[in-house]
């Protein structure tokens, strides 16, 4: 019995366990608040609306529709995983990447020009898009490393520059721009630039957007995990993030690591654009706001406990809720209600680190109380 109790206690105290518990708690609290909003708007249909958000379309639909919905959710999850990893890499190096939307936008320019306009091979478009986004991200890195410019401020400013560059460059090219719908043409499944489906569309009821990109993102997750767990580069990045002054004193090149972190981060944000556009799922629409995926990536990264494996599940959870939330419009709820619900969950996910710290403080407090009780018994 004591062994079981000891095992359970040590299990609870593990950082990974705390991360899972706090993430689940934030998600649950978000769902509860979302249900309250539904009750206020329409109490009669609130319960069924909530089941729609949780995914009753995966239960009551036909088998082929369920596979199609599931495949679409997985395909939408892949870009969010890439963007979340982008946030994670910078965070580990002591930086905060709020420029993901801009890096994504720069990749969109390259993908559309090379993919839609020139019909280049998919792997070539992927590589160039990631390199372009990495170079754009390194502008913030260079400003931080050489001039100590806050990367949050430079990242936000670069987001807007990239947004209007994308709008201007794409909309002025009639060969790639559909002026009737104010969006770029999509990369079709027959194009050289389309990411191969490698037969996965047969698994998901003919859903063409499910393909090699899903395998690719899992490989990238494994690479990022190994980078920070096993490699010297990853160790130096974490050391730089943990204490820049101590890292410099230990001989770690601060400038080099900031540039490396922002380059990798930008490349991952570019990969998010690749996984969204090169499977034909979406295109660039003329917009006055920066792509929301850059900010969704922050939420998924923190909800996943800033761990590559956790990010897979947190990203899918956010996409799953978004997909389910879009279904409640059939019950008479305004489309904005789904956005409010997902926004609440995303907002609360930012508190996972805070809640972990609260748990840690309570553990310290309990341990001190225990030691005081033992001290009193001895005296």
CA 101 to chain centre: 11
DSSP codes joined into one string, 43-68: TTTHHHHHHHHHTTHHHHS-HHHHHH
Least confident segment among 72-76, 306-310, 354-358: 354-358
Specify the higher pLDDT residue, 18 or 291. 291
Least confident segment among 222-231, 276-285, 302-311, 334-343: 334-343
pLDDT grade for 296, boundaries at 50, 70 and 90 = confident
pLDDT at 9: 54
Length of the chain: 379
Specify the higher pLDDT residue, 365 or 181. 181
Provide the token pair at 336. 């904005």
Specify the higher pLDDT residue, 323 or 276. 276
Least confident segment among 29-43, 78-92, 122-136, 295-309: 29-43
pLDDT at 203: 78
Model pTM?
0.88
Would the pLDDT of 48 be above 60? yes
Share the mean pLDDT of the chain: 86
Provide the token pair at 192. 């050289």
Max mean pLDDT range (234-238, 248-252, 264-268): 264-268
* 168 contacts 304 by C-beta, under 8 angstroms: no
Provide the token pair at 239. 């050391």
Provide the token pair at 332. 């008479």
Specify the higher pLDDT residue, 216 or 366. 216
Specify the higher pLDDT residue, 45 or 213. 213
Q: What is the mean pLDDT of residues 114-130?
A: 97
Least confident segment among 65-69, 99-103, 122-126, 193-197: 65-69
pLDDT at 14: 66
pLDDT grade for 61, boundaries at 50, 70 and 90 = low
pLDDT at 10: 59
10 Å CB burial of residue 378 (0-12, 13-18, 19+) is exposed
Residue-wise pLDDT tens digits, 215-243: 999 999 999 999 999 999 999 999 999 88
Q: Helices (DSSP H) in the chain: which residue ranges? A: 2-13, 15-41, 46-54, 57-60, 63-92, 100-111, 122-147, 151-171, 200-203, 212-230, 232-242, 244-249, 254-277, 293-303, 308-325, 335-349, 352-378
pLDDT at 29: 80
pLDDT at 379: 66
pLDDT grade for 17, boundaries at 50, 70 and 90 = confident
Instruction: Write the DSSP symbol of residue 172.
Output: T
Instruction: Look at residue 184 and give its three-state secondary structure.
Output: strand
Least confident segment among 57-71, 137-151, 165-179: 57-71
pLDDT above 70 as % of the chain: 84
pLDDT grade for 189, boundaries at 50, 70 and 90 = confident
Would the pLDDT of 163 be above 90? yes
Count other C-beta atoms under 10 Å from residue 198's C-beta: 12
pLDDT at 87: 96
Residue-wise pLDDT tens digits, 74-111: 889 999 999 999 999 999 999 999 999 999 999 999 99
């Amino acid at each position: 019995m004591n062994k079981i109790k000891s095992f359970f206690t040590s299990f609870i105290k593990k950082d990974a366990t705390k991360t899972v518990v706090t993430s689940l708690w934030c998600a649950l609290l978000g769902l509860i608040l979302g249900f309250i909003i539904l009750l206020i708007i329409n109490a009669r249909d609130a319960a069924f609306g909530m089941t729609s958000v949780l995914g009753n379309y995966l239960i009551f639909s036909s088998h082929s529709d369920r596979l199609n919905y599931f495949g679409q959710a997985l395909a939408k999850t892949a870009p969010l995983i890439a963007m979340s990893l982008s946030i994670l890499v910078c965070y580990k190096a002591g930086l905060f990447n709020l420029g993901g939307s801009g890096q994504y936008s720069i990749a969109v320019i390259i993908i559309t020009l090379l993919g839609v306009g020139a019909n280049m091979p998919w792997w070539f478009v992927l590589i160039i898009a990631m390199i372009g986004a990495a170079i754009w991200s390194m502008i913030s890195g260079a400003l931080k490393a050489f001039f100590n410019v806050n990367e949050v401020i430079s990242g936000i400013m670069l987001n807007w520059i990239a947004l209007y560059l994308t709008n201007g460059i794409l909309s002025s090219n009639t060969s790639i721009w559909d002026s009737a719908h104010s969006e770029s043409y999509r990369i079709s499944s027959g194009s050289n630039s389309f990411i191969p489906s490698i037969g996965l569309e047969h698994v998901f009821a003919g859903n063409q957007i499910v393909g090699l990109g899903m395998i690719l993102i899992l490989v990238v997750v494994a690479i990022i995990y190994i980078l920070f767990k096993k490699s010297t580069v990853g160790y130096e990045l974490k050391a730089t993030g943990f204490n820049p002054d101590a890292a410099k004193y230990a001989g770690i090149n601060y400038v080099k690591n900031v540039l490396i972190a922002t380059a990798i981060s930008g490349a991952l944000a570019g990969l998010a654009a690749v996984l969204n556009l090169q499977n034909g799922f979406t295109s660039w629409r003329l917009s006055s706001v920066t792509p929301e995926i850059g900010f969704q990536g922050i939420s998924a990264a923190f909800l996943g406990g800033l761990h590559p494996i956790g990010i897979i599940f947190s990203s899918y959870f956010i996409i799953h809720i978004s997909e389910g939330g879009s279904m409640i419009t059939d019950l008479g709820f305004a489309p904005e209600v789904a956005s409010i619900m997902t926004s609440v969950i995303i907002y609360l996910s930012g508190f996972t680190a805070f809640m972990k710290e609260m748990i840690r403080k309570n553990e310290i407090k309990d341990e001190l109380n225990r030691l005081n009780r033992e001290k009193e018994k001895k005296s």
